[in-house]
Amino acid sequence: MTSKYKLKSFFPLLVIAPLIFGLVNYIDFALDKTKPTPPLHGLPLILLLTFTILWLFFGEFRTKMIKVVLNDDHLLIKTFGGLSTAKKYLYKDLDGFKTSILRSRGGDNEYLYFIKDNKKVGKISDFYHKNYLELKTEISSKLDDLGFEKFSYKDELKETFS
């Protein structure tokens, strides 16, 4: 069984291009000596845009928009929207999985984390994957349910930049 993306999961990718374009143009504007200099040379805006681009690329595209292929004795995880090389994990080598809920105004999203040696090695969510419930059912039959983990933005930020 292979994970399938929801259409809205491509939104972060669509946002990255205009942000990069805006950042490059703003840096060009800030460095242009013929125009009035923005306050602090626009450093706060440049830092904000840079952080947002990095967060979207490494946090959303690398760690959340992953492709998972479930086989009889192992699973494959491909990051960067399925474009990276696959990492193979034998079910017997994984500790199990944990689930978490991200609460937001738009609704609650469930995340399922694959755990190996007490570390998260991959995740799927009902926000990004349209066949999430089918994947979860299949995973539940092959891995131990290690319980619920409270969602932590601090942990998400660490995962994004590690």
pLDDT (0 to 100) of residue 40: 67
**Do the bridges between strand 145-148 and strand 119-125 make them parallel or antiparallel, or are there none, so unpaired?**
unpaired
pLDDT attached to residue 83: 84
Q: What is the pLDDT of residue 39?
A: 64
Amino acid code (one letter) for 150 = K
pTM: 0.77
- Contact (Cβ atoms closer than 8 angstroms) between residue 102 and residue 111: yes
**Residue with token string 């192992």:** 74
Structural domain that includes position 68: 1-162
Report the pLDDT value the prediction gives residue 41, as an integer from 0 to 100. Answer: 67
Task: Name the domain count of the chain.
Answer: 1
Indicate the pairing of strand 87-90 with strand 109-116. Answer: unpaired
Chunked in runs of 10, what are the mean pLDDT values of the chain (162 residues)? 82 79 80 71 80 80 85 92 89 95 85 93 91 95 94 78 68
- Short-list 32, 33, 29, 58, CA closest to 46: 29
